[in-house]
Structures are given as C-alpha cells and as structure tokens.
Amino acid sequence: MNAFGFNSNDGRPQQLEQPTPIPTGHDLLIKIDAIAVNPVDTKVILGITQVLSTPRIVGWDATGTVIATGQDTVLFKTGDKVFYAGDITRPGCYASHQLVDERIVGNAPANLTPEQAAVMPLTSITAWEALFERLKITEQHDAGKNILIIGGAGGVGSIAIQLAKKIAKLNVTATASHSASIKWCKKMGANQIINHHGDLAHQYRALGIRDPDYILCLNDTDQHFVAMADLIAPQGMICSIVESKRKQDLETLKSKSAGFVWEFMFTRPMFKTHDLIAQHHLLNSIAELLDEGQIISTLTENIGSITAENIQKAHRQLLSGSTIGKLALTAID
C-alpha cells in the first residue's frame, strides 16, 4: 500500500510504501476512494515533539470499498461502499488502504460522489453526538428552542446548523465573521447570524429573542466562556469541542443550574466503549439523511489527488482559519 506520513512537526509528508495490512477481528480492509482533511490532522502533526523512526499516518475522514474482512465482522462484506472517521489511536487515511473497526464504519451515501461523502463522517459524528447525546436535544421536547452555534461556517458548524434546524427543529443563531461565511451559514439553514469577533452577548440580545437554551462552541472556548456563561438560559446546557488552555469559573453557571460538557468524537474508539457500535448506526442515519436530501454535503473544494503537495496545500488552508465547509482529496493513484 502507498501512504503519506509525518516524522516531525515540520508539516512535510513523506511518501511511504508498506505491506498492505491483513484484517483480523472486527477490522475491515478498505481501499480508499477519497479523504477529507480536518484541523485535528494538523494538531496531531504539530504535536510530534521528536523525530519519529516510523512516520505517523494521519487523517480521519474517508470513503472507500471493503476489500477484505476480519473473522469477527458481521456488518459488512467485500465490495461494500463505506464511509468513516476512524480511530485517532491507529494509522489514518492518508493512504491507499486502511484498517478500520467495522463498528465505527457506516454504509456510504448512494447519491454522493466519493469526495462529497468523505467530508461528512468526522464532523457529522461530532455534531450529532454534541447535539443529541451531550446536550440531549430531542425534537419532541426541544422543537422551537434556541441554540447558539459559535463557529458556524467550519466543518462541524456546517453540519451542526443543518441537524439543529432540520432534525431538531431549533431556532438557530450561528456566528460568522465575513460575507462568504455569513452566506454559507444562511445556506446551511441558520435563522440569525452574529459575529464571533464582536460582543456576543450584546449582539445576541439585540436580536430580540430569548437567551439560548443551548450553546455549541466550535471556536475558542477560552475567548467565549464568559459570554457563554452570561448568555446561557437558566437550566441551559453548553457543549464545546475546543480545548481550554485556561481554567474557567464553572461557578458562574451555578445560579442558573446550567451545565457544561465536552464532545470528542474519538472517545468511543479510543476507549473501546461498550456502545462503540453507536457510531455505525449514527453514520447510517447521516447517510440516509444525505440520500433523502434532508441535509447536504458540506464539501466546498476538492484540492485534487492525495499528493505531498496537495496535502500541504490543504493544511495551509486549514491553518489560515478561513476555511468554509470541508476540503477533500481524491484517492492515491
């Protein structure tokens, strides 16, 4: 198999030739058709603190074809088209082939291109788990309530807006900071837009709507914690996916009986939780919603084939902080 790996944090991928792995247990061997890049890719690379003797293969978003299965697999067979985000503790998808546990793999959407499908797993899992498992939102009990999504135009924000608006039936306020991202958030379904570079509480309350019952923070927890604590409605819930470098005063939430919770979509595969298969079912639900047209792919650009040059180009774009939606790369030839 061919792959691209990193042995230092200089951001320069090395092309690798390795034996194609053999699946055992619950693993699928997948021939990759397309991948997406995510901020976690660059964070993992920057976290390499010493030169590695074996380069790290990163990447956690892909679609492809099952070409072999382990002896314990029951969910898929050879020839199935699949999509998945994978497991951060294992080699990633910057490769021609990959081993992935079938319990975190879904059936690929039938009506999308490989690139359109490849950009969906990681962000969809993150948004779904944040909204429906961490914040415990249900349409039955929460339709019509208010949610503030901080960082609406990024990968997770793009799908979170759609799920919150179209599936949970919430009134969605998203943040965006320039005309292109504002337009994108509106396309995704946001009811109102405010700027996360300004005074969030002042801007939100100027809209004349009730304080948010839910806040999903996808952009700088440290910067926004004070505003979130101010804005959150009594008995409301805040969820963040962005690590905090400073200590936050959770007592500011006490008088409101408000809560704060983290979402990390790799938790289930990392800790092999008892409900690992939930991500399989979740991805199948996302595929159905995509095929039915209830939600749309968040692909905004296909960078090209998986090459060292295109990987670096995609990473530079991610690190610029200006990426809207998701970026894809097509399979290694």
Distance of alpha carbon 13 from alpha carbon 22, whole angstroms: 24
The set of residues, in sequence order, having a beta carbon less than 8 Å from that of 43 and lying 6+ positions away, is none
Judge whether residue 236 has pLDDT over 80: yes
Distance of alpha carbon 103 from alpha carbon 88, whole angstroms: 15
pLDDT above 70: percentage of residues in the chain:
100
Mean pLDDT of 265-293: 98
Mean pLDDT of 297-315: 97
Mean pLDDT of 94-123: 98
Tens of pLDDT along 175-203? Answer: 999 999 999 999 999 999 999 999 999 99
Distance of alpha carbon 3 from alpha carbon 146, whole angstroms: 44
Going along the chain from its start, the domains and CATH numbers come out as 2-120+267-330 (3.90.180.10), 123-262 (3.40.50.720)
Q: For residue 326, which of 308, 302, 299 has the smallest C-alpha distance?
A: 299
* Beta bridge partners of residue 172, listed in sequence order: 147
User: pLDDT category, 321, cuts 50, 70, 90?
Assistant: confident
User: pLDDT category, 149, cuts 50, 70, 90?
Assistant: very high
E strand spans, the chain:
2-5, 14-17, 27-37, 62-69, 81-84, 97-101, 105-107, 146-150, 171-175, 192-194, 214-217, 237-240, 259-262, 299-305, 326-330
Least confident of 58-72, 282-296, 318-332: 318-332
Per-residue model confidence (pLDDT) at position 333:
66
Tens of pLDDT along 11-28? Answer: 999 999 999 999 999 999
Judge whether residue 322 has pLDDT over 80: yes
